[in-house]
């Protein structure tokens, strides 16, 4: 199949950037979307042009490295999957495809489709962990965890940290990403001692990093490759209220 | 010629049960208030590197951690599906530290050190405790206690798991511990920063030269010790289950600076991957081998039988694993399953485009258990298969083929995980130490975390305490010289401007390796590869085209540097495979097989670790041998009949 690509090209963070049109020829429907870009890049290289920069690593949908906006959708038309798991058979011969980077104030563009997502790591640094130094752990079975609780924790912990939720949100909020971590640790018995401090510190970091507020639109969950449900945000909000209430009580 | 090295494996003696304890007691300690005076560089942030960086940070060392990805959470440990072994014996099914040790030594086909493997089995128990305390959501029984499953043909149920995402969850545990230390200021994280060389001062590892992948800046970081946790080198084959960026540059550069490379030819081929669909293929996708619990492997009996699988009657099918291995059937170990798939495809009985595939058929299990049960067990894998191939495995058998998955070889380390370069330690898949010639399922996660959380933090202190704190700036001539070499190399890659892409040459190298140094190897084939690889290297350095500039993000340049190193490492792998005329584990020499076609070890001549020294010419490495002795597990011929 033959396709027309309109790709965001931006030399570096200071370049204003623009859409550039490329023709992708003889594309096999069995290729993944990123393999299609590999083919385009091979041609550009042989022509002596600068290939399109894009991130990818595991190409199995789990590392969270890849991601771009395809025809206005984060990770493209495949539901519950990253762009590396999108195959060209989802498109038709002759299609025009627009490809853009994640767009958010907290994710500055590095080059073309590559953005800087280190703000997500900084949210985790603010409290997205259980403080247990190596060697200090009790015997693993000393704390039973009900199966439903472990399953709920894993559902939330499945987040791959790709940032699609931020790219899809009209407010560029990272609420789904942050809340998934708050819920993963907040439902487990091991996460209780730091539960309320965690949520309040992570929310403060989230806001300070330039992410927008959540207005419960749900675009985040709709594009999430790990299908993290909106419930995590409700859980986080409940804990946030409790943490503020707790602090006020302490003060009184 | 570099100075001659003496292999001192520093193996402990005495009863195997107490060796690790005694070693820990005999190691020198660093005074807690002095720890911050020592700077430790850790390259790689996966299970081994991430766990080590977090643990050393907690101890109070001044740590710098480097990763080529944009976040430590991306490391390829994340893709491990199956689980992690530990000798907890929660099932009361006869497991013990000794049994895990025994299975691992035997599974490695008697090419690993007993002392290392015993320590690994001991530490496995603490790993589970640590991960649970971090909040890793392992699968649970209804009573709230940890669930386990039997994995990879083990006869006890010792594998802990979190659905098919165990690697992801363990890595996130280590990542979170690491982020906590970054916040505490004990670890400084350098993401999108790639190590390009090792700096030696007076023969000791004192720093690394890195390239900032965003700005293109090349600079040197100095330290009191350097730790490499940079993973395996399976991408030398171009197509593998590794991530696109997984590379050998850090270990290869260290090798060229004097670190010995052990058993480079020991690679593991995983039997259940999705076959190659065309020349555009950029990587191979693995599907958990748990599929073999309910799937039956077959090919048509007749060569050239092109009928769709559902129109091939039972009598015309060859269930070759069940036929040849009546007691283990479809559950034979990875290397045996892989070789047999290759054999039937070589006979011309392979299925699918290109004829490199065999069927994995669930029809009988679906008829026996119902589609719902199969969906519960493997639903996500079936969906993944359908998404990639556009075939529905509930209706049609899957097509599978083996793919390169893991490298047991790596930099040689002593019992304390230190390489032959003083002050440079190697952990996780990047070292060679614990899996011998074949790694058992669910043991990679165990080893990465054992090294990172428990072994290295104990052993590195001894080195540092003996050396004493000694801050050094990158202004020393040795660092300046290494940095200049790195700059020259980058300039050279950018100056060729030929008519070949880096990927096209990498693909050719990979095909050569797969054909001659893959699942089965022989003298003639390896010699062919050894003729071809230097030619490819020549072509690489005369005809590649790396567009763009030195400054700024340049992914073509990153790839070119990595492939340049694969071009050299490939030759060492073939030299090692040629010299080891026995078969063992994942290394199958066609000349050395039993009358039944099984791997035939030659303990009399090859019961050693082959550690290769760089001589200044990558076609002429120098072999050093570390003899292996077995006091507790006596070498036997593996048999799965």
**Residues A12, A27: Cα–Cα separation, whole Å:** 29
Residues 6+ apart with CB under 8 A from A14: none
B2 touches chain A (CB under 8 A): no
Of the candidates B48, B46, B50, B78, the one whose C-alpha atom is nearest the C-alpha of residue B63 is B50
Distance CA B252, CA A142 (A): 44
**Best B56, B280, B455 residue to mutate vs chain A (most A CBs within 10 Å):** B280
Residues B390 and B304: beta-carbon distance below 8 Å: no
pLDDT of residue B516: 97
Q: 10 Å Cβ neighbour count for B37? A: 17
Residues B507 and B588 in one domain: yes
Residue B579 per-residue DSSP state: H
Residues of A within 8 A of B548 (CB-CB) are: 50
Same domain, B400 and B488: no
Of residues A49, A116, A125, nearest to B182 (C-beta): A125
Instruction: Give the pLDDT score at B290.
Output: 82
pLDDT at residue A249 in the model: 65
Q: Please name which of B55, B72, B291, B353 lies closest in space to residue A125, comparing C-alpha atoms.
A: B72
B131 part of a folded domain: no
Pairing relation of β-strands B424-426 and B225-228? parallel
Considering the domain boundaries, does residue B576 fall inside one? yes
Split at pLDDT 50, 70, 90, the class of B427 is: very high
The span from the CA of B235 to the CA of B247, in Å, is: 7
Give φ, ψ of B349 to 5 degrees: -105, 10
Q: Where are the domains of chain A?
A: 3-111, 118-251
Please provide the average confidence, as pLDDT, over all residues in chain A. Answer: 96
Q: What is the mean pLDDT of residues B452-474?
A: 97
CA distances for A85 relative to A61, A66, A220, B178, B374, angstroms: 6, 10, 18, 29, 23
Residues of A in contact with B450 (CB under 8 A): none
When pLDDT is cut at 50, 70 and 90, the band that residue A214 belongs to is: very high
Mean pLDDT, range A217-227, rounded to an integer: 98
Of A135, A146, A141, A149, nearest to B92 by C-alpha is A141
User: CA-CA distance, B624 to B3, in Å (whole number)?
Assistant: 13
Confidence of residue B1 (pLDDT cuts 50, 70, 90): very low
* DSSP run (H or E) holding B447: helix B444-449
Q: Tell me whether residues B282 and A38 touch, CB distance under 8 A.
A: yes
CATH number (domain holding residue B307)? 3.90.700.10
Q: What is the pTM of this model?
A: 0.97
Whether chain B has a CB inside 8 Å of the CB on A111: the answer is yes
| CATH number where B575 lies | 1.20.58.100
Q: How confident is the model at residue B260 (pLDDT cuts 50, 70, 90)?
A: very high
Contacts of A87 in chain B (CB under 8 A): 387-388, 390
Q: What is the pLDDT of residue B380?
A: 82
Q: How far apart are CA A143 and CA B141, in angstroms?
A: 13
Q: Assess whether B486 and B365 both reside in one domain.
A: no
- Residue B581 is assigned to a structural domain of this protein: yes
**How far is residue B389 from each of residues A118, B379, B397, measured CA to CA in Å?**
34, 15, 12
pLDDT tier at B332 (50, 70, 90 boundaries)? Answer: confident
A125 touches chain B (CB under 8 A): yes
Catalytic pick among B23, B99, B206, B334: B334
Same domain, B284 and B375: yes
B398 belongs to a structural domain: yes
What pLDDT, on the 0 to 100 scale, is given for residue B3?
Answer: 55
Cα B463 to Cα A9: distance, rounded to the nearest angstrom: 49
H or E element in which residue B465 lies: helix B456-467
Q: Residue B586 falls within a domain, yes or no?
A: yes
The complex's ipTM?
0.97
Residues 192 through 251 of chain A touching chain B, CB cutoff 8 Å:
none
Distance, CA of A219 to CA of A104 (rounded, Å): 14
Condensed to tens digits (0 to 9), the pLDDT of residues B380-418 reads 889 889 999 999 999 999 999 999 999 999 999 999 999
Q: How far does chain B reach from its first CA to its final CA, in angstroms?
A: 49
Q: Does domain A3-111 have CATH number 3.10.310.40?
A: no
Do both B383 and B492 map to the same domain?
no
E strands, B320-397, are: 358-361
Burial class of residue A23 in the structure, from the number of CB atoms within 10 Å of its CB (0-12 exposed, 13-18 middle, 19+ buried): exposed
- Total domains, chain B: 2
Per CATH, domain A118-251 is 3.40.50.300: no
Q: pLDDT tens, B181-235?
A: 999 999 999 999 999 999 999 999 999 999 999 999 999 999 999 999 999 999 9
Q: Does the structure show a pLDDT above 90 at B151?
A: no
Residue where one domain finishes, among candidates B363, B383, B404: B404
As a whole number of angstroms, the distance between CA A179 and CA A128 comes to 10
B103 is a domain residue: no
Give alpha helix (H) positions in B518-613.
523-543, 555-579, 603-606
Per-residue pLDDT, B288? 84
Alpha carbon of B92: minimum distance to chain A alpha carbons (Å): 14
- B chain contacts of residue A134, beta-carbon cutoff 8 Å: 51, 54-55, 58, 130, 177, 453-454, 457
Q: Write out the residue range of the structural domain in which residue B319 sits.
A: 271-404
Query: Half-sphere exposure of residue B296, counting CA atoms within 13 Å on the CB side?
Result: 18
pLDDT attached to residue A251: 66
What's the rounded Cα separation, in Å, for the pair B138 and B121? 20
pLDDT band at A250 (very low <50, low <70, confident <90, very high): low
Exposed/middle/buried for A161, CB within 10 Å: 0-12, 13-18, 19+?
buried
Q: Kindly determine whether residue A31 and residue B387, on different chains, have CB atoms separated by under 8 Å.
A: no
Mean pLDDT across B554-581: 98
Model confidence over B524-564: pLDDT tens digits?
999 999 999 999 999 999 999 999 999 999 999 999 999 99
> Which of B49, B41, B20 lies closest to B452 in space, CA to CA?
B49
Contact B517, B577 (CB under 8 A): yes
Size of interface A-B (CB pairs under 8 A): 219
With beta carbons less than 8 A apart as the criterion, state whether B616 and B2 touch: yes
Clarify whether B206 is annotated catalytic.
Answer: no
3-state secondary structure of B547: coil
Q: According to the 3-state scheme, what is the secondary structure of chain A?
A: CCEEEEEEECCCCCCCCEEEEEEECCCCCCCEHHHHHHHHHHHHHHCCCCCCCCCCCCCCCCCCCCCCEECCEECCCCCCCCHHHCEHHHCCCCCEEEEECCCCCCCCEEECCEECCHHHHHHHHCCCCCCCCCCCCCCHHHCCCCHHHHHHHHHHHCCCCCCHHHHHCCCCCCHHHHHHHHHHHHHCHHHCCCHHHHHHHHHHHHHHCCCCCCCCCCHHHHHCCCCCCCHHHHHHHHHHHHHHHHHHHHHC
In whole angstroms, what is the distance from residue A203 CA to residue B613 CA? 53
């Amino acid at each position: 199949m033959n396709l027309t690509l309109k790709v965001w090209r931006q030399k570096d963070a200071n370049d204003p950037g623009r859409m550039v049109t490329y023709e992708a020829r003889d594309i096999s429907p069995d290729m993944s979307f990123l393999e299609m870009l590999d083919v385009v890049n091979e041609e550009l290289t042989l022509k002596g042009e600068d290939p399109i920069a894009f991130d990818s690593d595991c190409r199995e949908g789990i590392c969270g490295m890849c991601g771009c906006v395809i025809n206005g959708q984060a990770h493209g038309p495949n539901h519950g999957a990253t762009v590396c798991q999108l195959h060209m058979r989802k498109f038709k011969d002759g299609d025009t495809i627009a490809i853009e980077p994640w767009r958010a104030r907290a994710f500055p563009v590095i080059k073309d489709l590559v953005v800087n997502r280190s703000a997500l790591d900084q949210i985790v640094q603010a409290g997205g962990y259980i403080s247990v130094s190596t060697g200090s752990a009790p015997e693993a079975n000393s704390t039973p965890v009900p199966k439903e609780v472990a399953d709920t924790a894993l559902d939330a912990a499945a987040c791959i940290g790709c940032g699609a939720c931020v790219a899809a949100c009209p407010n560029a909020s990272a609420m789904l990403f942050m809340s998934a971590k708050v819920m993963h640790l907040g439902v487990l018995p091991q996460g209780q001692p730091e539960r309320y401090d965690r949520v309040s510190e992570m929310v403060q970091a989230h806001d300070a990093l330039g992410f927008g507020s959540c207005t419960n639109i749900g675009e985040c969950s709709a594009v999430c490759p790990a299908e993290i449900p909106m419930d995590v945000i409700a859980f986080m909000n409940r804990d946030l209220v409790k943490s503020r209430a707790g602090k006020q009580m302490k003060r009184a | 010629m570099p100075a001659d090295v003496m292999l001192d494996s520093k193996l402990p003696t005495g009863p195997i049960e107490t060796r690790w304890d005694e070693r820990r007691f005999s190691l020198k300690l660093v005074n807690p208030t002095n720890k911050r005076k020592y700077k430790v560089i850790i390259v790689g942030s996966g299970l081994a590197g991430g766990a080590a960086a977090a643990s050393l940070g907690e101890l109070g060392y001044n740590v710098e951690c480097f990763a080529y990805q944009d976040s430590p959470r991306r490391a390829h440990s994340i893709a491990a599906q199956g689980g992690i072994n530990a000798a907890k014996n929660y099932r009361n099914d006869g497991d013990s530290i000794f049994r895990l040790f025994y299975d691992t030594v035997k599974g490695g086909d008697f090419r690993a050190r007993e002392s290392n493997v015993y320590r690994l089995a001991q530490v496995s128990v603490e790993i589970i405790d640590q991960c649970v305390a971090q909040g890793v959501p392992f699968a649970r029984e209804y009573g709230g206690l940890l669930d386990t499953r039997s994995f990879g043909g083990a006869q006890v149920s010792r594998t802990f798991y979190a659905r098919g995402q165990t690697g992801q969850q363990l890595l996130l545990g280590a990542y979170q511990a690491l982020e906590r230390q970054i916040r505490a200021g004990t670890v400084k994280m350098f993401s999108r920063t790639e190590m390009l060389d090792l700096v030696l001062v007076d023969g000791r590892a004192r720093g690394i030269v890195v390239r900032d992948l965003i700005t293109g800046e090349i600079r040197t970081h100095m330290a009191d010790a350097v730790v490499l946790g940079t993973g395996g080198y399976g991408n030398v084959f171009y197509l593998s289950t590794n991530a696109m960026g997984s590379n050998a540059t850090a270990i290869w550069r260290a090798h060229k600076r004097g670190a010995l490379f052990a058993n480079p030819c020991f690679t593991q081929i995983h039997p259940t991957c999705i076959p190659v669909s065309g020349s555009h293929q950029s990587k191979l996708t693995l599907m958990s081998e748990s599929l073999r619990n309910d799937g039956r492997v077959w090919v048509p009996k007749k060569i050239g039988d092109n009928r769709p699988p559902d129109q091939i009657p039972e009598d015309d099918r060859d269930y070759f694993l069940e036929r040849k291995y009546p007691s283990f059937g479809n559950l034979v170990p990875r290397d045996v399953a892989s070789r047999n798939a290759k054999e039937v495809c070589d006979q011309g009985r392979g299925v699918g485009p290109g004829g490199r595939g065999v069927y994995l058929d669930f029809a009988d299990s679906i008829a026996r258990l119902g589609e719902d049960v199969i969906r519960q067990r493997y639903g996500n894998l079936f969906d993944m298969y359908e998404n990639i191939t556009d075939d529905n495995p509930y209706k049609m058998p899957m097509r599978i083929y083996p793919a390169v998955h893991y490298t047991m070889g790596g930099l040689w380390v002593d019992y304390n995980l230190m390489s032959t370069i003083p002050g440079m330690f190697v952990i996780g898949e990047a070292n060679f130490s614990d899996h011998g010639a074949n790694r058992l399922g669910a043991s990679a996660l165990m080893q990465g975390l054992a090294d990172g959380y428990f072994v290295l933090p104990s052993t590195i202190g001894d080195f540092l305490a003996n050396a004493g704190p000694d801050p050094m700036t990158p202004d020393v001539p040795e660092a300046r010289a290494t940095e200049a070499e790195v700059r020259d190399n980058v300039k050279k890659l950018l100056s060729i401007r030929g008519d070949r892409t880096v990927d096209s040459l990498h693909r050719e190298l990979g095909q050569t390796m797969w054909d001659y140094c893959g699942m089965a190897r022989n003298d003639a084939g390896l010699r062919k590869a050894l003729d071809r690889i230097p030619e490819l290297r020549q072509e690489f350095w005369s005809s590649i085209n790396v567009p763009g500039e030195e400054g700024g993000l340049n992914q073509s340049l990153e790839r070119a540097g990595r492939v340049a190193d694969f071009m050299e490492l490939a030759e060492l792998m073939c030299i090692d495979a040629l010299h080891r005329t026995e078969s063992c584990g994942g290394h199958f020499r066609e000349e050395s097989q039993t009358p039944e076609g099984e791997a035939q070890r030659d303990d009399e001549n090859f019961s050693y670790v082959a550690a290769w020294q760089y001589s200044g010419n990558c076609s002429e490495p120098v072999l050093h041998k570390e003899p292996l002795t077995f006091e507790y597990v006596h070498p036997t011929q593996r048999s799965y009949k």
